[in-house]
Structure formats: structure tokens, C-alpha cells
């Protein structure tokens, strides 16, 4: 990394660094790399989503990899099986560690994606269950009258059957997904908000400590870090909260 890492106080915080992913939701590589510098080496995982990837593409992912970061490529693939499998094979060249696809793409799509992700260097695949910005009303609007939790459990179970490595769900249902999928499942939760944070467009939220306490493997945090006056400080506080929750 270009910046000097912040000294790590204890091994719990070191473990916490493996569990916090910062979402680089920016329209340009320059803004994203500026935030990376302002994180001062506190975090090791960075998420590149559609906004940044469509602008900066693979070269930004490669830059982050060269600087020593693990990259979560959040492209939320959702297309016919042949197209998604092809996208997975293309992304394999880039060096991302995690890649998302929508579980609602169905069994054939997820099975094809899992088969395409077996080449050496392939990212681990995460199935996005129900977006954390959706509540029961939003779900009903797209024809799903089950609760968000029931739908998340349905899609998570299907994803596991298809050979997908992990699930993106909200912290509100992560305990039930953990129970259904077992201790080894990789469960990644966005929708992380502290008491004083603006909720924004998120709906199914919880604190970092609660998410970890309920069984999340890794947390995705965007605006509570990127919009903070001192992002490195906001990230450090979250790492401490994660480390404390881990000890329970």
C-alpha cells in the first residue's frame, strides 16, 4: 500500500480488518483513490461497484490489487446463464477476490456461474439475496408477498445448492441465514448504520456490532465511512466495534 498502515493494537483488531469492506461508491478513479489514501491503511478490503467500475474498469481494480488491497467486485450480475458465465470468466482475469450475482437470476444462472468460477484465480461468488434497500412493501411491488426474511432464506438455500460460495443479505436476517447454511457459509452484510448515521436509501439495517454478533462474516460499509469527516477514524471505530462483537 502507498500509505503507512495504522498501528494495530491487538489481534482482535487485526481479525476485524479481514471483516470490514469499504464500498468505494464514486464516479471516478481519482475520487476513489483519494478516499483510499484518506483511509491511511486502516482497511484491507475495498468494494468496487457499478458506479466506479463502469467509469474506471479493470485498470482501477488492478491498481488497487497492486497497492495490496483485496477487491470485492460488486457487479451484481443478472442475465441469462450463458452471458453470466461468460462475464465470470472475463472477470477472472482481473484479480478480484469476490464477485456478486443476483440470486433471483435463478438456478440455471447460478449453476452456470459457479461452473465458470472454477478456473485458477477465479473470484469467490456471492449471491445477492434481497437488496438491503428493500422492505416488505418494495418486495410486494415486484410480486414477492413473502417477508424479506423468507425470500432471503429461499434464495440463500438455492444459491448454496447451486455451488455459490456465499450470500449477501441484511444484518436483520443474517442469524437465520447462518442457521440455515451453517458455520462455514460466507455471509456478507451491507446495511450497516450506527446510531448517529444517516440511513439514506437503506431499509433493513443494523449496527456493525449487531451484524457481527448475529453471525455476519464480513460487513460492507459505504457512506458511514466515505462521508465521514475523517474516514480513517470512522473505519477504526468500526474495526473496534467488530473486534468487541467478535469476543462475545
Rounded-to-integer distance, Cα 79 and Cα 100, Å = 12
Kindly name the residue from 47, 76, 160, 247 that is annotated as catalytic: 76
Toward ligand C5P, which CB reaches closer, 220 or 243?
A: 220
* Residue found under cell 463502469: 54
Q: In this structure, are residues 207 and 193 in contact, taking their beta carbons and an 8 Å threshold? A: yes
* Residue found under cell 459505504: 222
Q: In this structure, are residues 181 and 156 in contact, taking their beta carbons and an 8 Å threshold? A: yes
What length does the chain have? 248
Q: Determine which helix (DSSP H) or strand (DSSP E) holds 201, and give its type and residue range.
A: none
Toward ligand C5P, which CB reaches closer, 121 or 200?
A: 200
Helix/strand/coil for 27: coil
Task: Assess whether 76 carries a catalytic annotation.
Answer: yes
Task: Determine the residue with CB nearest ligand C5P.
Answer: 222
Site residues for ligand C5P per CB under 6 A? 23, 25, 47, 49, 74, 128, 131-132, 168, 190, 192, 200, 202, 220-224
Q: Which residues are catalytic?
A: 76
Amino acid at each position: 500500500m502507498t500509505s503507512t498502515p495504522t498501528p494495530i493494537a491487538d489481534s482482535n483488531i487485526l481479525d476485524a480488518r479481514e471483516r470490514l469492506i469499504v464500498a468505494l461508491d464514486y464516479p471516478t478513479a481519482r475520487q476513489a483513490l483519494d478516499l483510499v489514501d484518506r483511509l491511511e491503511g486502516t482497511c484491507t478490503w475495498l468494494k468496487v461497484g457499478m458506479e466506479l467500475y463502469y467509469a474506471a474498469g479493470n485498470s482501477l481494480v488492478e491498481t488497487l490489487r497492486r497497492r495490496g488491497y483485496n477487491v470485492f467486485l460488486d457487479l451484481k450480475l443478472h442475465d441469462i446463464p450463458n452471458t453470466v458465465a461468460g462475464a465470470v470468466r472475463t472477470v477472472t482475469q482481473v484479480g478480484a477476490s469476490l464477485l456478486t450475482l443476483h440470486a433471483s437470476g435463478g438456478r440455471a444462472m447460478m449453476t452456470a456461474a459457479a461452473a465458470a468460477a472454477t478456473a485458477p484465480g477465479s473470484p469467490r461468488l456471492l449471491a445477492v439475496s434481497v437488496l438491503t434497500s428493500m422492505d416488505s412493501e418494495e418486495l410486494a411491488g415486484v410480486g414477492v408477498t413473502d417477508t424479506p426474511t423468507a425470500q432471503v432464506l429461499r434464495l440463500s438455500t438455492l444459491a448454496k445448492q447451486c455451488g455459490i460460495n456465499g450470500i449477501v443479505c441484511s444484518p436483520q436476517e443474517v442469524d437465520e441465514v447462518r442457521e440455515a447454511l451453517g458455520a462455514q457459509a460466507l455471509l456478507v452484510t451491507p446495511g450497516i448504520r450506527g446510531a448517529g448515521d444517516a440511513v439514506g436509501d437503506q431499509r433493513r439495517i443494523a449496527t456493525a456490532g449487531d451484524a457481527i454478533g448475529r453471525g455476519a462474516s464480513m460487513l460492507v460499509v459505504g457512506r458511514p465511512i466515505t462521508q465521514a469527516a475523517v474516514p480513517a477514524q470512522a473505519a477504526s471505530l468500526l474495526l473496534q466495534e467488530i473486534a468487541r462483537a467478535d469476543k462475545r
